[in-house]
Amino acid sequence: MNTKINFAGIEMKNPVTVASGTFGYGREFAQFFDLSKLGAIITKGTSLKPKSGNKPSRVCETASGMLNSIGLQNPGIEYFAQNDLPFLKKFDTAIIVNACGSSIEEYVELCKILNTLEIDGVELNLSCPNVKAGCMAFGNTYEGVKQVTLAVRKVLDKPLIVKLTPNVTDIASIARAVEDGGADRSISN
Residue-wise pLDDT tens digits, 163-179: 988 778 888 998 999 99
Q: Which residues contact residue 156 at a Cβ distance below 8 angstroms, ignoring those fewer than 6 apart? A: 111, 112, 114, 115, 122
What's the pLDDT score for residue 133? Answer: 52
> What is the pLDDT confidence band of residue 137, given thresholds at 50, 70 and 90?
low
Measured from the Cβ of residue 97, the count of other Cβ atoms closer than 10 Å reads: 32
Q: Which of the residue ranges 42-51, 57-66, 91-100, 148-157 would you say has the lowest mean pLDDT? A: 57-66
CA–CA dist 137, 144 (Å, integer): 8
What's the pLDDT score for residue 10? Answer: 96
**CA gyration radius, the chain:** 16
- Please check the confidence at residue 185 and state whether its pLDDT lies above 80: no
CATH architecture of the domain with range 5-188: Alpha-Beta Barrel (3.20)
What's the pLDDT score for residue 129? Answer: 56
> What is the pLDDT confidence band of residue 135, given thresholds at 50, 70 and 90?
very low
Phi, psi (degrees; rounded to nearest 5) at 135 = 65, 15
What's the pLDDT score for residue 184? Answer: 87
Q: Read off the pTM.
A: 0.90
What's the pLDDT score for residue 136? Answer: 54
Catalytic sites, residue numbers:
128
**Element of type H or E holding 145:** helix 142-155
